Amino acid sequence: MALRPYIVGNWKMNGNRAMLAEARAIDRGAQRYRSVQVALAPPFPLLALLHDEVSAIGVGAQDCHAAAKGAHTGDVSAPMLDDIGADFVIVGHSERRRDHGETDAIVRAKAEAALAVDLGVIICVGETLEQRDAGHAEAVVEAQVDASLPCGEGAAAAVAIGNLSVAYEPVWAIGTGRVAAVEDVINMHAAIRARLVAMFGDAGGKVRILYGGSVNGENASVLMEAPGVGGALVGGASLTADAFLPIVAAAAADED
Ligand code: PEP
Report the C-alpha gap between 246 and 172 in whole angstroms.
23
The CA 96 to ligand 1 mean position distance, Å, reads 13
Half-sphere exposure of 166 (CA within 13 A, CB side): 33
Give the ligand 1 atom nearest the CA of 236: 9
Assigned domain for 141 exists: yes
C-alpha dist (Å) from residue 137 to 37, 40, 165, 218, 228: 29, 28, 20, 26, 18
The CA 18 to ligand 1 mean position distance, Å, reads 22
Give the ligand 1 atom nearest the CA of 237: 8
Inform me whether the pLDDT recorded for 108 exceeds 90: yes
Give the ligand 1 atom nearest the CA of 234: 8
Question: What residue's CA is closest to ligand 1, atom 8?
Answer: 235
Q: What is the CATH number of the domain that holds 205?
A: 3.20.20.70
The CA 70 to ligand 1 mean position distance, Å, reads 31
Q: Which residues line ligand 1 (CB under 6 A)?
A: 10, 12, 169, 174-175, 212-215, 233-237
Pocket test for ligand 1, best of 6, 7, 8, 10 (most atoms within 8 A of CB): 10
The parent domain of residue 147 ranges over: 6-255
Assigned domain for 244 exists: yes
For residue 34, which of 7, 74, 53, 9 has the smallest C-alpha distance?
Answer: 7
Q: What is the pLDDT of residue 153?
A: 81
The CA 118 to ligand 1 mean position distance, Å, reads 25
Assigned domain for 1 exists: no
Q: What is the pLDDT of residue 255?
A: 63
Dump pLDDT digits (tens) for 180-232: 999 999 999 999 999 999 999 999 999 999 999 999 999 999 999 999 999 99
Catalytic residues: 93, 169
Q: What is the pLDDT of residue 254?
A: 73
Q: Which residues, at least 6 apart from 242, have a Cβ–Cβ distance to it below 8 Å?
A: none
Inform me whether the pLDDT recorded for 256 exceeds 60: no
Give the ligand 1 atom nearest the CA of 238: 8
Task: Record the pTM.
Answer: 0.97
Dump pLDDT digits (tens) for 26-53: 999 999 999 999 999 999 999 999 999 9
Assigned domain for 212 exists: yes
Q: Which residues, at least 6 apart from 195, have a Cβ–Cβ distance to it below 8 Å?
A: 142, 145, 146, 204
Assigned domain for 54 exists: yes
Assigned domain for 32 exists: yes
Portion of the chain with pLDDT greater than 90, in percent? 96
Assigned domain for 219 exists: yes
The CA 84 to ligand 1 mean position distance, Å, reads 25
Report the C-alpha gap between 112 and 77 in whole angstroms.
12
Total structural domains within the chain: 1
Question: What residue's CA is closest to ligand 1, atom 3?
Answer: 235
Pocket test for ligand 1, best of 7, 234, 238 (most atoms within 8 A of CB): 234
